[in-house]
């Protein structure tokens, strides 16, 4: 296996012998195998272990085991703990997503702080298969079906060539102890559900499932390069400023995908894009986390949503426009019952002192509506 490992590292130019590699080390069979292979190639290795505190005493036992192993081998070992469940709940994430965000943020911090050249993760061939199938059933498109890359930015995955059974066999042959994560049997986690329930059935149809999917990934990876060039050209041709022409895009079979790629940069999902794509009437408006998209005469214009400073005040002067708000103030002679134009409001000028001050709503704000007895909360009026 060491020969295969060296060949894989060299063919993908994963690291140089003088580089220092930060190894994401759980203590499981995969990371133990990768550590042994790295050390046998005389690579400079530093360990990073995360205790997600999800398995009680078992998690803490893993942490102690990793620390003991690193001391025995004379390796530097960084260890941290996270309140993963609290973080997931507070950010509306699954446990899997929360754990991923937490560990990669921490790994990135370590790389910058200590100047390590690479982060090595122990992803292997079975992980590649699981990721492909998971993205496939979630409908994440061709970009989600191009697999785990051996090298991306500062992350390297030197074990992608090996299957799980081969890794276990290697550990046994070399008498390498490793930890067993009991949560790997919990089918409440999506990957475990695939690994334990779905993949064994697929392997009955094709015992060489990993190999077949690796070939499929390579086909789609090559196709994605051609498609991305086409999509980029379509977007450039159809884009004018902050707007994109649906008329132009609809002349191409890849138009809808190009529109989605343009819009996903502004945090719009595929369902929202499809609604705009099919819309007939001008003025169709959709809002993402930070942007608003409006359909007008075959174009979709995207603008950043205004985020007011709750402490900031804007002065409204008579006869002047207030930017960036569509507000203009005039004093006029009028009488009760006059018909108001759209989005116009009348106030008693004798009760006002200019310039007026515009600010965001604050708790407790109220006003006295004309024709009503007493005051009304602004919050109730908004509702």
Radius of gyration of the chain (CA): 29
Looking at the structure, do residues 199 and 334 belong to the same domain, yes or no?
A: no
Does 232 reside within a domain?
no
pTM, to two decimals: 0.63
Looking at the structure, do residues 315 and 300 belong to the same domain, yes or no?
A: no
Looking at the structure, do residues 118 and 58 belong to the same domain, yes or no?
A: yes
Does 227 reside within a domain?
no
Burial 143-169 (b: 16+ CB within 10 A, else e): eebbbbebbeeebbbbbbbbbbebbee
Please report the pLDDT score of residue 313 as a whole number: 78
- Boundaries of domain holding 376: 311-383
Looking at the structure, do residues 17 and 123 belong to the same domain, yes or no?
A: yes
Looking at the structure, do residues 57 and 157 belong to the same domain, yes or no?
A: yes
Mean pLDDT of 376-382: 79
Tell me which of 304, 325, 345 is where a domain ends. 304
In angstroms, the Cα distances linking 26 to 4, 33, 78, 178, 238 are: 23, 11, 12, 9, 48
Q: In this structure, are residues 120 and 21 in contact, taking their beta carbons and an 8 Å threshold?
A: yes
3-state secondary structure at position 70: helix
Tell me which of 304, 319, 342 is where a domain ends. 304
Does 78 reside within a domain?
yes
Q: In this structure, are residues 122 and 159 in contact, taking their beta carbons and an 8 Å threshold?
A: yes
Please report the pLDDT score of residue 311 as a whole number: 65
Residue 338 has pLDDT above 80, yes or no: no
Residue 61 has pLDDT above 80, yes or no: yes
Closest listed residue to residue 22, CA positions, set 104, 101, 91? 104
| Tokens coding 266 | 């502004």
Per-residue three-class SS string for 83-147: CHHHHHHHHCCCHHHHHHHHHHHHHHHHHHHHCCCEEECCCCHHHHHHHHHHHHHCCCCHHHHCC
| Tokens coding 212 | 């077949």
Vertex 311 angle, CA 308 and 313, to 5°? 75
List residues bridging with 356 in a β-sheet: 316
% of the chain at pLDDT higher than 70 = 94
Q: Residue 36: phi, psi to the nearest 5?
A: -60, -40
Does 289 reside within a domain?
yes
d(CA 102, CA 83): 10
Looking at the structure, do residues 211 and 78 belong to the same domain, yes or no?
A: yes
Looking at the structure, do residues 43 and 131 belong to the same domain, yes or no?
A: yes
Does 231 reside within a domain?
no
Q: In this structure, are residues 181 and 28 in contact, taking their beta carbons and an 8 Å threshold?
A: yes
What total of structural domains would you count in the chain? 3
Does 234 reside within a domain?
no
What secondary structure letter does DSSP report for 40?
H
Looking at the structure, do residues 274 and 378 belong to the same domain, yes or no?
A: no
Please report the pLDDT score of residue 340 as a whole number: 63
d(CA 172, CA 169): 5
% of the chain at pLDDT higher than 90 = 50
Looking at the structure, do residues 23 and 153 belong to the same domain, yes or no?
A: yes
d(CA 30, CA 382): 56
> Beta strand 291-296 with 299-304: parallel, antiparallel or unpaired?
antiparallel
Q: In this structure, are residues 5 and 41 in contact, taking their beta carbons and an 8 Å threshold?
A: yes
Does 221 reside within a domain?
no
d(CA 300, CA 294): 5
Q: Is the dihedral of CA 220, 223, 224, 225 positive or negative?
A: positive
d(CA 317, CA 33): 72
The string of pLDDT tens digits covering residues 245-269 is 999 999 999 899 899 889 988 888 8
Q: In this structure, are residues 142 and 228 in contact, taking their beta carbons and an 8 Å threshold?
A: no
For residue 130, what is the domain's CATH number? Answer: 3.40.50.620
Looking at the structure, do residues 120 and 66 belong to the same domain, yes or no?
A: yes
Mean pLDDT of 210-216: 89
Please report the pLDDT score of residue 308 as a whole number: 60
The string of pLDDT tens digits covering residues 267-324 is 888 889 999 999 988 888 888 878 889 998 899 999 887 666 666 778 888 888 887 7
Does 188 reside within a domain?
yes
Looking at the structure, do residues 102 and 195 belong to the same domain, yes or no?
A: yes
Tell me which of 285, 304, 323 is where a domain ends. 304
Q: In this structure, are residues 37 and 158 in contact, taking their beta carbons and an 8 Å threshold?
A: yes
Looking at the structure, do residues 175 and 251 belong to the same domain, yes or no?
A: no
């Amino acid at each position: 296996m060491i020969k295969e490992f060296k060949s894989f590292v060299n063919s993908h130019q994963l690291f140089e012998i003088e580089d220092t590699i930060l190894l994401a080390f759980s203590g499981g069979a995969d990371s133990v195998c990768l550590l042994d292979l790295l050390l046998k190639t005389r690579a400079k290795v530093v360990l990073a272990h995360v205790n997600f505190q999800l398995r009680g005493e078992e998690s803490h036992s893993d942490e102690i085991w990793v620390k003991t192993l690193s001391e025995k081998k004379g390796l530097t070992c960084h260890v941290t703990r996270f309140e993963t469940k609290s973080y997931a709940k507070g950010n509306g994430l699954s446990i899997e997503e929360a754990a991923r965000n937490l560990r990669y943020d921490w790994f990135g911090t370590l790389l910058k702080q200590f100047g390590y050249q690479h982060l090595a993760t122990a992803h292997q061939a079975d992980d590649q298969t699981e990721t492909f199938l998971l993205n496939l059933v979630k409908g994440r498109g061709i970009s989600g079906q191009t697999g785990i890359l051996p090298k991306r930015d500062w992350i390297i995955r030197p074990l992608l060539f090996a299957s799980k059974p081969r890794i276990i066999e290697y550990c046994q042959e070399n008498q390498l102890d490793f930890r067993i994560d009991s949560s790997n049997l919990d089918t409440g986690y999506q990957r475990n559900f695939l690994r334990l329930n779905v993949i064994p059935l697929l392997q009955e149809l094709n015992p060489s499932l990993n190999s077949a999917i690796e070939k499929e990934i390579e086909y789609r990876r090559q196709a994605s390069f051609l498609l991305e060039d086409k999509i980029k050209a379509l977007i450039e041709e159809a884009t004018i400023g902050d707007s994109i022409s649906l008329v132009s895009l609809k002349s191409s079979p890849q138009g809808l995908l190009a529109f989605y790629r343009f819009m996903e940069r502004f945090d719009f999902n595929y369902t929202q894009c499809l609604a705009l794509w099919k819309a007939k009437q001008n003025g169709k408006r959709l809002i993402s986390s930070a942007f608003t998209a409006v359909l007008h005469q075959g174009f979709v214009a995207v603008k950043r949503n205004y985020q007011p400073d709750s402490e900031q005040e804007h002065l409204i002067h008579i006869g002047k426009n207030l930017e960036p708000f569509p507000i203009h103030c005039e004093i006029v002679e009028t009488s009760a019952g006059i018909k108001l134009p759209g989005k116009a409001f009348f106030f008693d000028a004798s009760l006002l002192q200019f310039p007026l001050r515009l600010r965001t709503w604050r708790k407790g704000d109220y006003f006295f509506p004309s024709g009503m007895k007493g005051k009304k909360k602004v919050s109730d009026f908004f509702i």
